[in-house]
């Protein structure tokens, strides 16, 4: 029997179900509480590569993910009339074995792989956390309370667990000064098997349209000040997005109408989470809650999967939770740091701040200077160290 068997995980997206999967295999009894009433759909394509693919394979979910993989073959920049001005094939970034899946598909596959042996509680959230040396007392917004041995926050950028027990959002958050919105739209938008993007100074609107999916995904990003206070309610978010894209060309007016009518509409500040420590006592963090790198890193989902696997392995192999949290952080921080550092180039490439920079980006793309640089950005890993760490070993079923 594992020590600390009763583990509460907050958040059922990518990190939460992955952690639950590995904890069950190591003899723990995880419970997952998710604020949304059901598994959240939506999100653009996310990349799995390297260690994350190996972990997915060990979980037995690789065939399902390969079936759902997107078939995007190009990134195309268009002008206000929809004419191609520059572009690059996605093969520039991809290596054999990489997989790109829609975020919602990935969340569904991970949930399906765990639903039969993990206790999922949808539509509830942690309200208070009180820990003594031996246990954690948790009360839930739904009115119940329970005792756990450990609590792990896998509840994303605005993690409530982090706020309650580890560090306030004000101290952990490092905004990039960019807003990001996404929503599911009809496949009549964009071009088949392409990511189509239209830039104006400090803004990008785009459509992500895989050829083997029923829907397309619209996305928008816009530069703001780092101090800008993003609204959390849907109506104000829609108003903000409409203000930002009021004068734009291409398909933007109809794309905005479709995106803002979609129930999975999502808008948030692009914010990195950087913290001196990812745990406090019996409470730990994983995924975006601990180390969000943002969509511009191209590796949020992969980091969530790798971190969850490492944390579960550390909990199983260490002598107590304190040693386990320390071991997980020690092994994973260098990888996180490298990927967080890569976002500057990603944002400069996708959301150039001025018209001159848009022109320059297009020229560099045409001259084939940018594609290899982009490939390096999206594959950023620290020089060596981490891959040889024993914690990175993937346990096979
Ligand atoms: C709807 C949605 C769309 C996204 N779209 C994109 C995208 O287009 N591109 C991209 O790169 N990344 C996107 N992301 C973020 C991406 O999923 C993460 O960067 C990455 O996969 C890490 O996953 P995570 O599980 O750590 O966090 P997240 O994926 O952010 O998941 C956190 C989970 O915790 C839940 N949660 C939040 N607060 C609480 C609470 N108080 N109590 C209980 N549960 C809570 C959330 O509902 C969510 O299910 C999106 C996330 C969501 C939720």
Closest ligand 1 atom number to CA of residue 293: 19
Cβ of 182 below 6 Å from ligand 1: yes
* Minimum-distance ligand 1 atom for the alpha carbon of 41: 1
Q: Give the model confidence (pLDDT) of 233-254 as tens digits.
A: 999 999 999 999 998 789 999 9
Q: How far does the centroid of ligand 1 lie from the alpha carbon of residue 331, in Å?
A: 23
Q: Ligand 1 centroid to 295 CA: how many Å?
A: 11
Confirm whether 228 is domain-assigned.
Answer: no
Question: Ligand 1 center to residue 369 CA distance, Å?
Answer: 33
Ligand 1 site, residue 33, Cβ cutoff 6 A: yes
Minimal CA–CA distance to 150: which of 3, 310, 304, 317? 3
Pocket test for ligand 1, best of 103, 296, 304 (most atoms within 8 A of CB): 103
Assess whether the C-beta atom of 175 lies below 6 angstroms from ligand 1. no
Each residue's pLDDT tens digit, 148-166: 999 999 999 999 999 999 9
d(CA 231, CA 273) in angstroms, rounded, equals 19
Residue pair 21/30 in contact by the 8 Å Cβ criterion: no
Parent domain of 159: 6-70+99-173+272-346+381-392
Is 146 domain-assigned? yes
Say how many Å lie between the CA of residue 155 and the centre of ligand 1: 7
Question: Which tokens is 46 given?
Answer: 């996310």
> Whose CA is closest to atom 26 on ligand 1?
287
pLDDT at 343: 83
In the chain, how many domains are there? Answer: 1
Instruction: Indicate whether residue 15 lines ligand 1 (CB < 6 A).
Output: yes
CA-154 nearest atom, ligand 1: 26
- Give the residue, by CA position, lying nearest to ligand 1 atom 4: 43
Q: What are phi and psi of 285, to 5 degrees?
A: -135, 150
On whether residue 48 sits in a domain, the answer given is yes
Is there a domain that residue 155 lies in?
A: yes
Which residue has a Cα nearest atom 27 of ligand 1? Answer: 156
Q: Look at residue 397 in the predicted model and tell me its pLDDT.
A: 35
- Residue 367 pLDDT: 79
- In SS3 terms, 252-311 reads as HHHHHHHHHHCCCCEEEEEEEECCCCCEECCEEECCHHHHCCCHHHCCHHHHHHHHHHHH
Q: How far is CA 87 from the centre of its chain?
A: 25
Q: Is residue 32 part of a domain?
A: yes
Probe residue for ligand 1, chosen from 11, 181, 221 as the CB with the greatest number of ligand atoms within 8 Å: 11
Residue to mutate (ligand 1; options 43, 121, 262, 263; most atoms within 8 A of CB): 43
Ligand 1 center to residue 193 CA distance, Å?
Answer: 25
Question: Does the C-beta of 44 come closer than 6 Å to ligand 1?
Answer: yes
pLDDT at site 298? 84
CB 132 within 8 A of CB 141: no
Whether ligand 1 lies within 6 angstroms of the CB of 35 is answered as: yes
Mutate to test the pocket of ligand 1, among 110, 155, 164, 332 (most ligand atoms within 8 A of CB): 155
Atom of ligand 1 nearest to the CA of 33: 43
- The secondary structure element, H or E, covering residue 358 is helix 355-366
pLDDT 10s digit of each residue in the chain, 397 long? 467 799 999 999 999 999 999 999 999 999 999 999 999 998 889 999 889 999 999 999 999 999 999 999 999 999 999 999 999 888 877 777 889 999 999 999 999 999 999 999 999 999 999 998 899 999 999 999 999 999 999 999 999 999 999 999 999 999 999 999 999 999 999 999 999 999 999 999 999 999 999 999 999 999 999 999 999 999 999 999 999 999 878 999 999 999 999 999 999 999 999 999 999 999 999 999 999 999 988 889 999 999 999 999 999 999 999 999 999 999 999 999 999 988 877 888 899 999 999 998 898 888 776 666 665 555 555 544 444 444 544 443 3
Cα dihedral 94→97→98→103 (10° resolution): 150
211 in any annotated domain: no
Comparing CA positions, the residue from 349, 185, 173 lying closest to residue 266 is 185
Nearest to 183 by CA among 102, 243, 106: 102
Protein residue whose Cα sits closest to atom 11 of ligand 1: 295
168 lies in some domain: yes
CATH of the domain at 54: 3.50.50.60
- Angle at which helix 15-25 crosses helix 300-317, to 10 degrees, equals 30
| 185 occurs within a structural domain | no
Binding site membership of 103 for ligand 1 (Cβ less than 6 Å): yes
- Number of the ligand 1 atom closest to the C-alpha atom of 160: 41
């Amino acid at each position: 029997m594992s020590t600390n068997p009763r583990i509460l995980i907050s958040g059922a997206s990518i990190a939460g179900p992955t952690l639950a999967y590995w904890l069950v295999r190591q003899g723990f009894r995880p419970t997952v509480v998710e604020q949304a009433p059901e598994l959240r759909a939506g999100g653009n394509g996310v990349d799995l590569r390297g260690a994350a693919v190996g972990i997915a394979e060990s979980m037995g979910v690789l065939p399902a993910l390969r079936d759902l993989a997107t078939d995007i073959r190009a990134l195309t920049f268009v002008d206000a009339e929809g004419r191609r001005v520059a572009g690059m094939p996605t093969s520039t970034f991809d290596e054999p074995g990489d997989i790109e899946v829609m975020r919602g598909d990935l969340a569904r596959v991970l949930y399906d792989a765990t639903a039969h042996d993990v206790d999922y509680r949808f539509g509830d959230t942690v309200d208070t956390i009180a820990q003594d040396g031996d246990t954690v007392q948790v009360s839930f917004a739904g009115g119940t309370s329970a005792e756990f041995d450990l609590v792990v926050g896998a509840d994303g950028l605005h993690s409530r667990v982090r706020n309650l027990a580890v560090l306030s959002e004000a101290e952990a958050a490092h905004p990039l000064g960019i807003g990001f919105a996404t929503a599911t739209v009809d496949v009549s938008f964009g071009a088949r098997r392409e990511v189509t993007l239209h830039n104006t100074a400090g803004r990008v609107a785009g459509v992500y349209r895989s050829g083997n999916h029923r829907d397309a995904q619209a996305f928008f990003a816009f530069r703001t000040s780092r101090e800008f206070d993003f609204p959390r309610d849907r109506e104000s978010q829609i108003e903000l997005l409409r203000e930002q894209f009021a004068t734009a060309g291409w398909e933007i007016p109809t794309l905005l109408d479709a995106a803002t009518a979609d129930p999975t509409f999502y808008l948030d500040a692009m914010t990195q989470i950087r913290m001196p420590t990812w745990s406090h006592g019996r409470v730990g963090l994983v995924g975006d809650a601990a180390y969000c790198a943002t969509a511009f890193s191209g590796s949020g989902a992969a980091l969530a999967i790798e971190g969850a696997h490492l944390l579960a392995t550390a909990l199983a192999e260490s002598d107590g939770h304190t040693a386990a949290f320390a071991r997980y952080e020690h092994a994973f921080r260098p990888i996180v740091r490298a990927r967080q550092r890569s976002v500057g180039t990603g944002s400069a490439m996708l959301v150039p701040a001025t018209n001159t920079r848009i022109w320059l980006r297009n020229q560099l793309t045409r001259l084939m200077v940018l594609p290899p640089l982009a490939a390096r950005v999206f594959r950023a890993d620290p020089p060596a160290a981490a891959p040889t760490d024993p914690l990175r070993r993937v346990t096979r079923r």
